[in-house]
Amino acid sequence: MSRDDDTDMQAKRRAEMLAVLRRRGIASEAVLDAMAQVPRERFVPDHLAELAYEDGALPIGDGQTISQPYIVALMTEAAGLGPESRVLEVGTGSGYSTAILSLLAGHVFSIERHDTLATAARERLEKGGYLDNVTLSVGDGTLGLPEQAPFDAIIIAAAGPRVPEALRAQLAMGGRLIMPVGSASGPQKLTCVTRDGEENFRTEDLAPVSFVPLIGAQGWQR
């Protein structure tokens, strides 16, 4: 297959993925438009490029995964981002959702605990031209980035036993934190926490999900 044929094929698959997301209830045109712009095949290992637009998670190394497109869309939509939003992402992984967030927000701070994944994500994001409003770091994202807080949205792409207190404290007033909460390998709920006041947090469940564990001082210990 020529490079042009391959690009056309991936564009067609991307359009089909967007149709699936719409059918599953993603209504934000801004989120769908951002997902239409990011070539997911560049964020998965080469041998899995053909599967890049299936609505599923895929392995990216170090026992980690790139999240399912529908879940990326759901979390991004729930975050309610605008062009001025400051976003903290915990779990850069492949960098795919970081790229999407960078198209919707003012600035994205993304933390990954695996050095190798963070390095590969940086290369992809740099190559794709996404780094102008993205700051990447390696470390324990359960502690957040207090020096950059407050954040209008915090998106955590790994499942913890509870919402980390450090992250709750770094939410701006009116800000939203989206994360899977539940057991490390069993049932989890995608949870949205909205900060309504200094000590006032509202919690709603969005969907049952299955994520890799959030490992850290305020996550699972390992």
Contacts of 20 (CB under 8 A, 6+ apart): 55, 69, 70
The least distance separating ligand SAM from the CB of residue 219, rounded to whole angstroms, comes to 5
Under rule CB under 6 A, residue 142 binds ligand SAM: yes
In the chain, the N- to C-terminal Cα span, in Å, equals: 45
The least distance separating ligand SAM from the CB of residue 150, rounded to whole angstroms, comes to 19
Residues 115 and 138 sit within 8 Å (Cβ to Cβ): yes
| Residue whose CB is less far from ligand SAM, 162 or 202 | 162
Q: What radius of gyration do the chain's Cα atoms show?
A: 16
Give the strand pairing for 134-138 and 107-112.
Answer: parallel
Give the strand pairing for 188-197 and 107-112.
Answer: unpaired
Under rule CB under 6 A, residue 214 binds ligand SAM: yes
The least distance separating ligand SAM from the CB of residue 88, rounded to whole angstroms, comes to 11
Burial grade of 1 (CB within 10 A; 0-12, 13-18, 19 or more) = exposed
Under rule CB under 6 A, residue 69 binds ligand SAM: no
Residues 117 and 61 sit within 8 Å (Cβ to Cβ): yes
The least distance separating ligand SAM from the CB of residue 197, rounded to whole angstroms, comes to 27
Question: What residues from 70 to 129 belong to the interface with ligand SAM (CB under 6 A)?
Answer: 90-91, 93-94, 96-97, 111-114, 117
Closest CA to 13 of 34, 46, 35, 29: 35
Under rule CB under 6 A, residue 188 binds ligand SAM: no
Which among 46-54, 124-132, 136-144, 172-180 is the span making contact with ligand SAM, rule CB under 6 A? 136-144
Give the strand pairing for 188-197 and 200-209.
Answer: antiparallel
Under rule CB under 6 A, residue 166 binds ligand SAM: no
Catalytic residue among 28, 67, 97, 110: 67
Active site residue 67: yes
Under rule CB under 6 A, residue 157 binds ligand SAM: yes
- Mind telling me the catalytic residues? 67
The footprint of ligand SAM (CB under 6 A) covers 64-67, 90-91, 93-94, 96-97, 111-114, 117, 140-142, 157-158, 211-212, 214-216, 219
